[in-house]
Amino acid sequence: MELPVKEEISVEDEAVDESIFKDCSKIAFYRRQKQQLSKKSTYQALLDSVTTGKDSTRFRIINEATKVPLLAEVFGIEGNIFRLKINEETPLKPRYEVPDVLTSKPNTVRLISCSGDAGSLVLADGKGDLKCHITANPFQVDLVSEEEVVISINSLGQLYFEHLQIPLTQRATREKEDVSVNTSQENQEDLGLWEEKFRKFVDVKVNGPASIGLDFSLYGFEHLYGIPQHAESHQLKNTGDGDAYRLYNLDVYGYKIHNKMGIYGSVPYLLAHKLGRTFGIFWLNSSETLVEINTEPAGKDTGTQMGPVAAKQKARSRTDVRWMSESGIIDVFLLTGPTPSDIFKQYSSLTGTQAMPPLFSLGYHQCRWNYEDEQDVKAVDAGFDKHDIPYDVMWLDIEHTEGKRYFTWDKKRFPNPKRMQALLQNKKRKLVVISDPHIKIDPDYSVYTKAEEQGFFVKNHEGGDFEGVCWPGLSSYLDFTNPKVREWYSGLFAFSVYQGSTDILYIWNDMNEPSVFRGPEQTMPKNAIHHGNWEHRELHNIYGFYQQKATAEGLIQRSQGKERPFVLTRSFFAGSQNYGAVWTGDNKADWSYLKISIPMLLTLSITGISFCGADVGGFVGNPGAELLVRWYQAGAYQPFFRGHASIKTERREPWLFGEPHTRLIREAIRERYALLPYWYSLFYRAHVASEPIMRPLWVEFPDELETFGVEDEYMLGSALLVHPVTEPKATLVDVFLPGSSEVWYDSKTFASWEGACIVKIPVGLDTIPVFQRGGSIVPAKMTVGKSTGWMVDAPYRLRVALSNKGSAVGELYLDDGHSFQYLHQKQFLHRKFCFCSGVLSNSCADERGHYPSECVVEQIFVLGLKQQPSSVTTHSPDGKDQPVAFTYCAKTSTLSLEKLSLNIGTDWEVHIK
């Protein structure tokens, strides 16, 4: 991988041919598992070996052919979670167990052995609503609820466990090998036991093959979701042979859509939903992982072994999910729901909730690779003001540095970065710069020399620093799995260390899969060595997670723990939600990528990562004016809202496409800013109550079958339904409005519809189909400023949309928007709005919070008020009643109250008679 010093690295080094990535047929552990399982070797649980400890129940499992024992542990965890761990009883050396993802040691619940015959064991969690049936021969685990099996483990006999072996070179005499290991040369090469060849690369495995696998059968479930990141539909599809979903973080520039290949991030967590129950499977493993899915319709006899309880399952449909990982142990959490919101809480109790973002980060972000220099930044910033378009954050890509050396500035282009930041700060705006994990090998670059002296880089398998090619040329890669490296890296963000940085500068972690140009599959070799002597293969998918964690901690430390960080990462894992935002990577300026962004973001959202978005306009290529307008309209209603473009593309700042396009983009961005009180309140709910922000319809309407496959529209919180226009030249869209007892209001015209129907909505280029759900109250700002910082004192508007019963509820969360004082000093306001029997009230939703606010509610719309009132009065706690002037529109059944002055933070009522 040696590289002449003078060689230029360009976008072509990243924009590689798809053929450099593996499909399933090229993955040796997949081939081995498929081959072995066709031979049906079975495992048996030795139930006479059961021991019950404080936290878990343990027993041995033995493979009938090899007689090598495994150790199984079953845990009950608070909140209706079961955990199953399977490891070698006496491994040659420890096998990797993923650290740092679980936010704390889960609180266990003692499982009580309650019955079972000689060949089985039944464990219950004390409440008795869920029982865990363990069958000895063949080994099987069933989770049973009210006499019905919800899920079976190993009912298809696909438990697979390759044992670590003594390296071939150390064997004096060849011991009896694992039956799955045939030592003929040809077979070894085909199965990649000790060496795996792909293109010109050879992956040497010191301890031989170490893969694991297990099957799960979900009864009555046909709809599965999750396991991001794939450019695929929200509902997971059946996988044919050789077509598994791959979880392996890779830098895939301009990735193909409708494809199951792994891209930038991996969350090995899957949700299944049916009428009456939602269920989750969290497979805690950070090595390369493949997931196969097969749904059998009801009544089909699959000819598999049937336990007594399973016999009655035949009448129900069944989905089989098979997880396969290259190494590590089996460590799986079964989240038993039963509702979607229970599942979200269960998952976040393990991996944490979405970090509370600073308010500015919910505004619009302007990025490209690259803004050329300080003058360019100044001109683009002025362009937003000239065209009256709000924005909050200017972004600088790799060209802002001195020769791609992170934590530096190009002295010609950015001679005075503090002056540039002062210009932005005066307008209450921020700056984000990029910081990648590869460090240029250069003895005159202090970040490199200090890391090299302390041994902070990932090592190659010979023990020297791993060297690979990325943007700076030959580079070494920081070993973020090492806590000392993370601590040191966090320190690099201190203002005294990062010259030219100020407190308005925030960070973007890119290329952290990690991307290694000309490496195997554009990444690091699997036998590179990390802290603790672990091979890269064990922890590949968690590398980017650790960089974002270290970066977020660095931004917190530089403010002495006072200020919330903002960090965007491209690569991620389960738990990345604790540290910031994620985006969908290098998408294309094409309608199909606008369309696929919706299911991709829905999948991230339900797997814990609420702060997510897609590059508006598409990163690769040049969008036409219509596509760009539609993408801004979609992005304005997605959590992370950033325009971005690649280095070879034409400039596309929002005002460059002429009228009416500039006006339409301005309107979309201004709609985003007006709704920020609602957005910020949703982020608070995500942070404290694990509720996704962007929600598939099935999450809000879990008992309506018609919602289970919908992915072209979604709920924003529980109040707004958004149906972005994703087709060119569209004049009409079919919008599905769910819920037979619901009423829906067009958020612009206030026209209303009963739920459970498809409505044909005419769409001009100025139309964003957004509907407010009856029964909700949405807070918004009356005026929009140049950035979020200018809107702190702007008055509020409340849009009260009445349900069929004439009632509505909503909430508002408010704090200083940037510090941790909401957490440590309880400096926040959480208000509840309620409309019932003609009275709208504002009351305190959380007595613990206190935050002074001068803001007032100035305008109230009540939608769905069936008759004109005779009087409207406001009541405040001091007893003064004030009559209010109002207008009523009979055509839309809308009451408008203007020129109010009701303080947002005090209790009051509005009486409508």
Q: Which residue has the tokens 């495995």?
A: 205
Closest by CA to 576, choosing from 97, 248, 101, is 101
The DSSP bridge pattern shows strands 330-335 and 318-325 to be unpaired
Q: Could you tell me the CA-to-CA distances from 128 to 59, 76, 78, 206, 313 in Å, in that order?
A: 22, 12, 14, 46, 21
Through-space distance between the first and last CA atoms of the chain, rounded to whole angstroms: 79
Angle at 34 (CA atoms; ends 29, 37), nearest 5 degrees: 115
- Whether 452 is a known active-site residue: answer no
Distance, CA of 28 to CA of 190 (rounded, Å): 7
- Whether 586 is a known active-site residue: answer yes
* Tokens read off for 299: 């009544």
Identity of the residue numbered 602: L
Burial of 599 (0-12, 13-18, 19+ CB in 10 A): buried
3-state secondary structure of 557: helix
The DSSP bridge pattern shows strands 581-583 and 567-569 to be parallel
DSSP strands (E only) in 210-362: 212-219, 223-226, 245-247, 269-274, 277-283, 289-296, 318-325, 330-335
Exactly one of 125, 410, 513, 671 is catalytic; name it.
Answer: 513
Distance, CA of 796 to CA of 793 (rounded, Å): 9
* Tokens read off for 218: 């979900």
Answer yes or no: are the C-beta atoms of 83 and 116 closer than 8 Å.
Answer: no
Angle at 510 (CA atoms; ends 509, 512), nearest 5 degrees: 95
List, in sequence order, the alpha helices (H) in 275-370. Answer: 340-351
As separate numbers, helices (DSSP H) first and strands (DSSP E) second, the chain gives: 15, 54
Distance, CA of 446 to CA of 675 (rounded, Å): 45
Q: Could you tell me the CA-to-CA distances from 114 to 52, 125, 127 in Å, in that order?
A: 13, 10, 12
Answer yes or no: are the C-beta atoms of 599 and 587 closer than 8 Å.
Answer: no
Closest by CA to 904, choosing from 823, 788, 812, 808, is 812
Distance of CA 224 to the CA centre of its chain: 16
Q: Could you tell me the CA-to-CA distances from 900 to 87, 570, 800, 874 in Å, in that order?
A: 66, 45, 15, 9
Distance, CA of 567 to CA of 565 (rounded, Å): 6
Q: Is the backbone peptide bond immediately before 370 cis, with ω within 30 degrees of 0?
A: yes
Exactly one of 381, 538, 586, 858 is catalytic; name it.
Answer: 586
Distance of CA 104 to the CA centre of its chain: 20
Angle at 844 (CA atoms; ends 843, 848), nearest 5 degrees: 170
Distance, CA of 364 to CA of 386 (rounded, Å): 16
Exactly one of 510, 553, 615, 811 is catalytic; name it.
Answer: 510
Answer yes or no: are the C-beta atoms of 60 and 45 closer than 8 Å.
Answer: yes
- Whether 510 is a known active-site residue: answer yes
Active-site residues: which are they? 510, 513, 586
